[in-house]
Amino acid sequence: MRNKEKKNLTKEILAENINRQFGLTKSFSEKLINSLLFHLTNIVKTDKILKIKNFGTFRILNKKERIGRNPKSKEKFVISKRNVIVFKTSKSLNNKLNKD
């Protein structure tokens, strides 16, 4: 069994990959990634949903206020209502990811 280590995909890693693959400067690659994420975030905030064909759908989910508890101390507290973003992969991306 292989040791699978989780790795986070950061803006820096994306910028480095763009830099290597397309030969753009690292600073321009970083600006490109920041601009893309800024615009995607604004679209999701205003439209509440963002569908990217053959990739997936981002949408905002409204969570209600609820009672939570600290598992260590068993102390209860109120978790305030909030918005979270959820992502669902498209069928085509799912198929690509699950090919052996």
Q: Please, are residues 78 and 68 in contact by the beta-carbon 8 Å criterion? A: yes
Average pLDDT over all residues of the chain: 90
pLDDT 10s digits, 29-70: 999 999 999 998 899 888 989 999 999 999 999 999 999 999
Residue 4 falls in which region: left (phi positive, over 0), alpha (psi -120 to 50) or beta: beta
**Comparing C-alpha atoms, which of 57, 49, 55, 50 is closest to residue 92?**
55
pLDDT given at position 1: 43
- 50, burial (CB in 10 Å: exposed 0-12, middle 13-18, buried 19+): buried
